Amino acid sequence: MSSVLSPVQAAAPAADPKSREARAGSRLFEIDCELQYEVRAETDFLFQIEASQTPQQTVLSETFKVSPALRIRHGAHPGSTNRFARVHAMPGPLNVRYRARVRLHAPDPDPTLVELPVAALPDEVLHHLVPTRYCESDLLGRTALRTFGQIEPGLKRVEAITQWIREHIQYEIGSSDATTTARDTLANRAGVCRDFAHVGIAFCRALNIPARLVVGYVKFDEPPPDFHAIFEAYLGDPDDPTRGRWVLFDPTGLAPVDRLVRIGTGGDAKDVAFATIFGQAAMSSMRPEIEEVIETRPA
């Protein structure tokens, strides 16, 4: 069964991709993601590989296909832009392919952004201050204050956290697994992108800066292609404490954050796994590819 998804069904409003202003500061990307599994027994899959529809990201077109032809049930997590597809498969090979064209409207960085006092934070971001399974911010308070407490609060402090992780944690494939937490990564001084992001989230939360995980598609300078995890922190406008926004940071430095097409957002990795399997199945191949489309603009 093929599933052609309409962007108008997504959970959040999007910027108008046809407006001249939106196009002037935007990038166009094509996504081609293919996952292959060997299903050993009757199994249910929950896939999170569809691009989110947000004010900064417009899904122009997309298709979701599985082979053999199976029913695909699409949905979205309440209160978020995370989308999912459910598939019930019988034993045998399973091929999943998602293709999309997405326009990304990345905001310019603002060096004046500040940290907001807890009393000024919107209700909907408060839960991004508390510890989660992989981000034990309650146990890292002393370390965070000792390392970053004297740095100017705001964008500079989160940038310092990002740089510290890059300098003190070795990027090493195979050095962590699905149970590795931020404290584990700090102890081992090694990890992969999600571990780097978990450390950044934990340090931010320990300093009362709301932070959360972002997973998406991005083009790496070196193969192989893979999903990428970074984090974002909630910072405010110094002239208007009631106005805040989420700002992306990549402790790995592997790719520009303004070229990441978001799949999902969550408290940590447990919320944004690209595939959750209920049954017996093994992945045989993964190819999450993304390419920027170079557009010719009129003079």
CATH 3.10.620.30 fits 118-267, yes or no: yes
For residues 225 and 216, the model is more confident at 216
pLDDT the model gives residue 296: 77
Q: Computed from CA positions of residues 153, 190, 202, 13, in that sequence, does the dihedral angle turn out positive or negative? A: positive
Q: What percentage of the chain exceeds 90 in pLDDT?
A: 81
Please give the structure tokens belonging to residue 205.
């939360």
pLDDT the model gives residue 17: 39
Residue 109 pLDDT class (50, 70, 90 cuts)? confident
Q: Where are the domain boundaries for CATH 2.60.40.2250 in the chain?
A: 2-105+274-293
| b/e map 112-143, b = 16+ CB within 10 Å | ebbbbeeeebeeeeeebbebbebbbbeebeee
For the domain spanning 2-105+274-293, the CATH number is 2.60.40.2250
pLDDT the model gives residue 235: 97
Whether residue 102 has pLDDT greater than 90: yes
Residue 7 pLDDT class (50, 70, 90 cuts)? very low
pLDDT the model gives residue 3: 54
Asked whether the beta carbons of 246 and 233 are under 8 A apart, the reply is: yes
pLDDT the model gives residue 5: 53
The type of residue at 231 is: F
Q: Where are the domain boundaries for CATH 3.10.620.30 in the chain?
A: 118-267
CA distances from 36 to 11, 31, 182, 238, 277 (A): 28, 17, 30, 48, 13
Mean pLDDT, the chain, whole residue set: 91
Residue 6 pLDDT class (50, 70, 90 cuts)? very low
Please give the structure tokens belonging to residue 179.
């149970």
What's the pLDDT tens digit per position in 44-59?
A: 999 999 999 999 999 9
Closest by alpha carbon to 192, among 212, 172, 177? 172
Q: What percentage of the chain exceeds 70 in pLDDT?
A: 90
What's the pLDDT tens digit per position in 113-164?
A: 999 999 999 999 999 999 999 999 999 999 999 999 999 999 999 999 999 9
pLDDT the model gives residue 18: 40
The type of residue at 81 is: T
